[in-house]
Amino acid sequence: MRIVIAGGSGFIGEKLTAFLVEEGHEVIILTRQDRPSSGNVSYVTWLEVGTSPEEDIEEADAFINLAGVSINDGRWSKSHQQEIYESRMTATGELLRIITALPVKPAVLINASAIGIYPASEHKVYTEESQERAEDFLAKTVIDWEAKANQASAQSIRTVFVRLGVVLGNEGGALPLMVLPYKLFAGGTVGSGEQWVSWIHVRDAIRAIVYLLENEQLSGPINLTAPTPIKMRDFGRTIGAVLQRPHWLPVPSFALKLILGQKSALVLEGQHVVPQKLLAAGFSFQFASLQHALEDILL
């Protein structure tokens, strides 16, 4: 397939690109910086004055949108929240414009999303059928982001929203920061420890995205989480066990709120999310166990 990726230089995007090329696909990465093409990967400039990326894209089979300012970087000031929100709306709007301008439409648009759309709860289990919605900044961003991307369906394009959980890998995401205290022999329970962590190994996240490219019966929201969410206390204990480090020094909620402000909700609150649609479709996770995932990443 010929696949266009927005956000191809990020944590997930780079690994996804490498995986797709290994599988024999052609990848076009939309970028703000001119870069020379290499093998089955070519680069097209977008989101800059005077650029018309649609002129350099011919008969793409699929678009994947991972573009947007990272929610993991920086404190959630009002200006940073605005950047997080607007970067997603702008990139998705431009992708829709490009798709509209193409004489041959792609068969599918896979748009990134997040499980933050669901309210935090220690007791509820969320599947793609769950209609409850959180009301905080992250949820509003996700709701508007999905609504924007869903405009592609009006052009008879299969549209998928991959609601990502906590993606685990060495090169990015939340795991390096979660692991650091344990490496310093200062790891322990974060907050109450009762909050859920719905996680996924980055390799399974990439495999799932490719699975969604290839399976035409899957559309709409798809939870990209492992089938075995775990409480934060047990998540920390598993890190300690894998690294052979103690799990003993708790991090109280008030300290994180003082340091991180609103962003502290990313670790102090959580959702028990299940990938019901992927499991029903027959997708097989390589890393269904957190211990197995962490051993693969950390050892």
> What single string gives the DSSP state of each residue in 250-263?
-B-HHHHHHHHGGG
CB atoms within 10 A of CB 258: 10
DSSP strand E in 202-267: where?
Answer: 220-224, 230-231
Say what the pLDDT of residue 39 is: 87
- Does the pLDDT at position 293 exceed 90? yes
Prediction pTM value: 0.96
Structure tokens at 190: 């974060």
Distance CA 9, CA 67 (A): 9
Using the structure block, give the residue that is written with the tokens 């609601």.
163
- The pLDDT confidence band at residue 205, using thresholds 50, 70 and 90, is very high
**What single-letter amino acid sits at 275?**
P
- Does the pLDDT at position 254 exceed 80? yes
Q: What's the distance, CA 7 to chain centroid?
A: 11
Say what the pLDDT of residue 12 is: 96
Please give the average per-residue pLDDT across 15-22, as a whole number.
97
Q: In terms of DSSP bridges, do strands 196-197 and 230-231 run parallel, antiparallel, or are they unpaired?
A: antiparallel
- Does the pLDDT at position 253 exceed 80? yes
- Does the pLDDT at position 126 exceed 80? yes
Residue 116: which of 143, 144, 139 has the closest Cα?
Answer: 139
Chain mean pLDDT for the chain: 95
Distance CA 120, CA 140 (A): 14
- Does the pLDDT at position 7 exceed 80? yes
In 3-state terms, what secondary structure has residue 94? helix
Please give the average per-residue pLDDT across 31-53, as a whole number.
91
Residue 168: which of 9, 15, 63 has the closest Cα?
Answer: 15
Distance CA 119, CA 124 (A): 9
Out of 29-38, 156-165, 196-205, 225-234, pick the least confident. Answer: 29-38
Buried-exposed string 267-290: b where 16+ CB fall within 10 A, e elsewhere = bbbbbbbbbbbbeeeebebebeeb
Say what the pLDDT of residue 161 is: 98
- Does the pLDDT at position 88 exceed 90? yes
Q: What's the distance, CA 186 to chain centroid?
A: 28
Task: Report the share of the chain in percent with pLDDT over 90.
Answer: 88
At residue 47, what are phi and psi to the nearest 5 degrees? Answer: 60, 25
Cα–Cα distances in angstroms (integers) from residue 180 to residues 27, 246, 269, in the given order: 34, 13, 20
Structure tokens at 240: 């300690």
Residue-level length of the chain: 299
Distance CA 64, CA 159 (A): 10
Say what the pLDDT of residue 61 is: 97
- The pLDDT confidence band at residue 278, using thresholds 50, 70 and 90, is very high
Number of H helices, E strands in the chain: 10, 13
Say what the pLDDT of residue 37 is: 81
- Does the pLDDT at position 58 exceed 90? no
